[in-house]
Amino acid sequence: MSLPGRPGTPSTTPTPHRVNPGSMPSTRTRTPLGRVFDTLWDGRPGPAADTRAGCLRLPITGEGGLGGRLAPASGCADHGGREVAMAYLIPPMEDETPPEFIAFVAARHDMLLGEAARLTGGERSAPELCMQVLTDLAGRWRWLTWISRLTRRDAAAQLLDRRLTARTRQWREDQIYPVEVQVLRDHDQSLHTVAVPSTATVQYERPPAPAHESVAQQLAALLPSTVRAGTGVIAEAEIAWVHAYRRYLWRRYCTVGGGMVFLIGGMVQFMSQFSATT
């Protein structure tokens, strides 16, 4: 009997060989749920795109058949890779700013900014107060839209006035008002004037103006401006919506976390009472 593996002698032990994954078709039978998890793990469109998985987040094929993008939380992917709307008991807040909110802010931004400057006594704190009011308005925009449709009134404008009043009251409470302090000095003590040398103030003087303007500076007045009108209002609306969306996410996470804590606490309490009675 010859030993396996010795040169010149036949061996009955099969030699293992390495097979690259994907070079041969797999003969395993996968369940639809398993194919969905495989596709989500790989990040490529596969059999999971043809599987009806309810409301799972399936990859949507883009141009050229490339995947890697998951369907947003507001919809599912059907057989054609299109997005299908989902039914919610309470619809979540949209992460994109609706055009109706931008139009509302653009129509009332100047008036809101002027009223905030009048209530705060200047234009220093008016933009900050205006942003806080718009953030409060963006967080309730969906409910305001429904109330306006039902009551046939502009509920957003009414809430805007109320939130401006509330934010102004809060701003006044947070302010540090000046306190009058009277300093008592000794009459015998005399104050000596100290002369500041002129060389110490040279570095703080404004540099002299240029003797003549360059050609580019002369042509700048003739060229059209590159500043687009209305972009500031759109940016204000977008920033306010982002702040409101982040606040909504934090409130949602706290609600879910608190519900889980109460659920686990209730289960522990029930199990302890059940074990005590038995």
- Is residue 43 within 8 Å of residue 61, measured between CB atoms? no
Evaluate whether 71 touches 58 at the Cβ level (below 8 Å). Answer: yes
Tokens of 222: 């003739």
CA–CA dist 128, 167 (Å, integer):
10
pLDDT tens across the length of the chain (278 residues): 445 545 555 555 555 555 454 444 444 445 544 554 454 444 444 444 444 334 434 333 334 333 333 344 444 445 455 544 556 677 788 888 899 999 999 999 989 998 998 888 878 888 899 999 999 999 999 889 899 989 888 899 999 999 999 999 998 888 877 766 676 666 555 555 656 556 555 555 666 666 677 778 777 777 777 766 668 888 899 999 999 999 999 999 999 999 999 999 999 988 988 888 87
d(CA 54, CA 210): 72
Q: Report which DSSP code applies to 59.
A: B
For 65, the 3-state DSSP assignment is helix
What does pTM read for this prediction?
Answer: 0.52
Q: Report the SS3 class of residue 46.
A: coil
User: Which whole-number Å values give the CA distances from 139 to 155, 178, 239, 242, 254, in the listed order?
Assistant: 14, 35, 12, 10, 16
Distance CA 171, CA 270 (A): 48
Q: Specify whether the CB–CB gap between 132 and 236 falls below 8 A.
A: no
- 158 alpha carbon, distance to own chain's centre: 26
Residue 115 neighbours by CB distance under 10 Å: 20
**Cβ proximity of 33 and 53 under 8 Å:** yes
Distances from the Cα of 118 to the Cα of 28, 131, 160, angstroms: 74, 16, 16
The candidate with the shortest Cα–Cα distance to 115, out of 47, 43, 168, 171, is: 168
Question: Would you say 159 and 265 are in contact if contact means Cβ atoms under 8 Å apart?
Answer: no
Going from N- to C-terminal start, the domains of the chain cover: 32-85, 90-174+235-278
The long-range contacts involving 242-247, CB below 8 angstroms and separated by at least 24 positions, are 243/131, 243/135, 243/138, 244/93, 244/135, 244/136, 244/138, 244/139, 244/141, 245/93, 245/95, 245/138, 247/135, 247/139
